[in-house]
Amino acid sequence: MGKKLILRKAIIHDVEGIHRLLLTFGNQGKLLPRSLSNLYSSVRDFFVVVDSNGKVYGCGALAIIWKDLAEVRSVAVSEEIQKKGWGKRIVEACLSEALTLGIYRVFVLTYEKTFFAKFGFVEVDKKDLHEKIWIDCFNCPKYPDNCDEIAMVINL
């Protein structure tokens, strides 16, 4: 792929592309798909990787959970540009934003343990995270018996 790609904060026109990307991986069971309504209200959380036409190839978000806790969520990189460092750049942008906000503890719920371990995320028991994370869990089709995501935390 010879296209020039950039990483930047998401704008409202990226939401449909983010939605499509998350749906692709959601259908494979790799992450939770999110509704358009949910994405519009949280678009300010997102970073995207886009080409010069505005096509979305990658995304990821930093969601603030509490005064001392944020979550990296919805990290997805289109298969055609995987393994080129874009996933890493997205997560680094989220962690950098957490630092800018003054939040020094970030977690992720994921199946990609090896990918996140490279940043210094370590596995923890989900029960050790803030109770507010359960709001999303209650809305998840896998809750409670089929939840197999791993919780990982990094202290910045």
Ligand X SMILES: CC(C)(COP(=O)(O)OP(=O)(O)OC[C@H]1O[C@@H](n2cnc3c(N)ncnc32)[C@H](O)[C@@H]1OP(=O)(O)O)[C@@H](O)C(=O)NCCC(=O)NCCS
Comparison of 100 and 114: residue with beta carbon closer to ligand X: 114
* Binding of residue 114 to ligand X (CB under 6 A): yes
Comparison of 67 and 146: residue with beta carbon closer to ligand X: 146
Q: 38: which 2 tokens? A: 């949910």
* Amino acid letter, residue 59: C
* Binding of residue 115 to ligand X (CB under 6 A): yes
* Binding of residue 30 to ligand X (CB under 6 A): yes
Q: Which of 47, 86, 107, 121 binds ligand X (CB under 6 A)?
A: 86
* Binding of residue 119 to ligand X (CB under 6 A): no
* Binding of residue 46 to ligand X (CB under 6 A): no
Buried b vs exposed e over 123-149: b needs ≥16 C-beta within 10 Å? Answer: eeeeeebeeebeebeeeeeeeeeeeeb
Q: Which of 4, 67, 80, 83 binds ligand X (CB under 6 A)?
A: 83
Q: Which of 10, 76, 93, 94 binds ligand X (CB under 6 A)?
A: 76
Q: What is the size of the binding site for ligand X (CB under 6 A)?
A: 20
| Beta carbons of 43 and 19 less than 8 angstroms apart | no
Instruction: Map tokens 């923890």 to a residue.
Output: 124
Question: Shortest gap between Cβ of 40 and ligand X (angstroms)?
Answer: 20
* Binding of residue 108 to ligand X (CB under 6 A): yes
* Binding of residue 107 to ligand X (CB under 6 A): no
Where does this chain bind ligand X (CB under 6 A)? Answer: 25, 30-31, 75-77, 82-88, 108, 110-112, 114-115, 118
